[in-house]
Amino acid sequence: MTTQQAPAIRVQGLEKSYNKLEVLRGVDLVVERGSIFALLGSNGAGKTTLVKILSTLLKADSGAAWVNGFDIAAQPGEVRESISLTGQFAAVDEILSGRENLVLIAKLRHLKNAEQIADSLLERFSLTDAAGRKVSTYSGGMRRRLDIAMSLIGNPPVVFLDEPTTGLDPQARVEVWQAVAELAEQGTTVLLTTQYLEEAEQLADRIAILHRGRIIVDGTLAELKQLLPPAEVEYVEKQPSLEDIFFALVGDNDPTGTGRSAARTN
């Protein structure tokens, strides 16, 4: 399998424990190139652990994975050159303007046309008007858009967005969704993690639910909706929401199966 033909991400039997806490117990998934894949799971389900392993920040205990055709264990350097990772907390510099942040990163990556790259990203993420303002004056949605724009410098084919909208207000969330949709339109593969069913429903070509260390469902939204048995008597025609499906499948609030409640905040 050549790098070009390989799926953007392939994960086989990945396992990871923190001491006695088994977080990933054999995770399998495939993300096709140019698609948006949502990894859905409650707080503590292991989403960040999986993203850290795929971005080579953390080693798996067993199993294998390939990103952009490269083996995460044997070719970590090639994997790192193929990806960007944007976490829950923005990595932007508050003192600099949006434009200065972008130019700085482009220069750190030794790109020749840093100014041009910055301007085109500002345009793409609707930040042109705010380009010269200090990031400390930006709204949450603007910061997150800038963060995503920064992660695109150098055109990585695979982008990991770990809970890109956690902590944002509804308006900012919609703005970030537009930015993410835009990414995939340009051919970038996006693996995003989320606790928000609506986010997966809005954005993803494919949705996988991580629960108690395994992927318990993996499919398109239409496929997931078919998993719910139709009600025998329906007075009002109502499509099941992803939320209905999630709770029908998961049916509890204990993502790791350790008896620890997920209803806590980070």
Ligand X SMILES: Nc1ncnc2c1ncn2[C@@H]1O[C@H](COP(=O)(O)OP(=O)(O)O)[C@@H](O)[C@H]1O
Q: Which residues 227-266 are close enough to bind ligand X by CB under 6 A?
A: 256
- Both tokens of residue 140? 């949450």
The reply to whether 194 sits near ligand X by the rule CB under 6 A is no
Q: Which of 21, 108, 227, 263 binds ligand X (CB under 6 A)?
A: 21
Which 3 state secondary structure label does DSSP give 93?
coil
The reply to whether 41 sits near ligand X by the rule CB under 6 A is yes
- Minimum gap (Å) between residue 162 Cβ and Mg ion: 6
Closest by CA to 86, choosing from 125, 126, 128, 134, is: 125
* Nearer residue to ligand X within complex by CB, 47 or 206: 47
The reply to whether 45 sits near ligand X by the rule CB under 6 A is yes
Q: Which of 44, 63, 98, 141 binds ligand X (CB under 6 A)?
A: 44
Closest by CA to 242, choosing from 227, 220, 225, 262, is: 225
Query: Alpha-carbon distance 147 to 98, whole Å?
Result: 9
Closest by CA to 222, choosing from 206, 233, 211, is: 206
The reply to whether 48 sits near Mg ion by the rule CB under 5 A is yes
Give all strands of the β-sheet with 62-67 in edge-to-edge order: 21-31, 9-18, 62-67, 70-71
Stretch that binds Mg ion, among 39-47, 106-114, 121-129, 174-182 (CB under 5 A): 39-47
* Nearer residue to ligand X within complex by CB, 2 or 265: 265
* Nearer residue to ligand X within complex by CB, 251 or 259: 259
